[in-house]
Amino acid sequence: MKIESTQNERVKRVRELMNSKGRKHTGLHFIEGERLVREAVVSGAAIVEAFIEEGHELMAAVLEGCGAQVFTVSRPVMEKLAATNTPQWVCATVKTEASELPQYYPSGLIVVLDCVQDPGNLGTIIRTADAMGAVGILLGEGCADPYAPKPIRSAMGSIYHLSIWQTDNLAQELKKLYAQDFTMICGHLKGKAELPEIKQKCAIVIGNEGNGVSEQTADLCTKYRLPMYGFAESLNASVAAGIMIYEAAAVMNGKRNQ
């Protein structure tokens, strides 16, 4: 089927996925661009609908083989569907797989986000955590929606590689992690400049861009201050997260001694 009108009802429904209300109502999220769509296919994500410009029959066949309903669209329609100013030739809607909060968290590295609100930071942290072998991301209340267009793009497909847990009671989940013998480390300006002993169960906690971690959260963690040698007093949340995740992962994978 070909869609040529930007006023098509299906196009309007896809546009509703740009806001959180539409994503929650439908249980779907939106992705765009060849790389991200291919990553979703390879990862086994449930692609519901795909929209492709003419001349890309192989991708259309791949998506149909995955069970997606595929539509050929004109360039104006693609520009209407997309969240970017210069979209590529393919986009899709994907079923959002909700990960239930586990009774027992898996061993490994877990990244916990306490009210990280910037969508770009969130996506970058998810991508970094994936690259460093984390088993999951735990999002507390006040965090940006990981399935909004910007975090999806920033994560570059990593959102399909690890568990994404969301909670309205972060303190409760942190206490659960603590009770399950996780080493709890949070970035904090009043922390020590040495990491605590890291074993095979570790939670790295990253706080809000402006206020850091809440005091309630900090009280459950070992406070760690990244050593800095210049004049800046702090780092961007995703940069600080990247350094801390890397340091913990290096120890856990035997690449660095403590």
User: Strands of 2-3's sheet, edge to edge?
Assistant: 2-3, 69-73, 47-52, 90-95, 28-32
Confidence at residue 64, expressed as pLDDT on a 0 to 100 scale: 97
DSSP class per residue in 106-143: PSEEEEEESS---HHHHHHHHHHHHHTT--EEEE-TTP
Confidence at residue 132, expressed as pLDDT on a 0 to 100 scale: 97
Confidence at residue 258, expressed as pLDDT on a 0 to 100 scale: 66
| Residue 90, amino acid | V
CATH: 3.40.1280.10, 3.40.50.10800, 3.40.50.740, 3.20.20.70. Which one for 108-252?
A: 3.40.1280.10
Confidence at residue 228, expressed as pLDDT on a 0 to 100 scale: 85
User: CB-hemisphere CA count at 13 Å for 24?
Assistant: 4
Confidence at residue 180, expressed as pLDDT on a 0 to 100 scale: 97
Length of the chain: 258
Under CATH, domain 2-95 is a member of which superfamily? Ribosomal protein L30/S12 (3.30.1330.30)
Domain boundaries, the chain: 2-95, 108-252
Tokens 């296919």 map to which residue? 41
Helix, strand or coil for residue 216? helix
Q: Is the pTM of this model over 0.85?
A: yes
Which residues are CB-contacts of 217 (< 8 A; sequence separation ≥ 6)? 114, 170, 171, 174, 186, 205, 207
Confidence at residue 210, expressed as pLDDT on a 0 to 100 scale: 87
Confidence at residue 1, expressed as pLDDT on a 0 to 100 scale: 83
Question: Residues of the chain whose pLDDT is less than 70?
Answer: 258
Q: What are phi and psi of 6, to 5 degrees?
A: -70, -10
Cβ density class 142-178: b for 16+ within 10 Å, e for less: ebbbbbbbbbbbbbbbbbbbbbbbbbeebbebbebbe
Q: Do 224 and 186 touch, CB atoms closer than 8 A?
A: yes
Q: How far apart are the first and last CA of the chain?
A: 59
Q: How far apart are CA 165 and CA 22, in angstroms?
A: 20
Confidence at residue 227, expressed as pLDDT on a 0 to 100 scale: 86
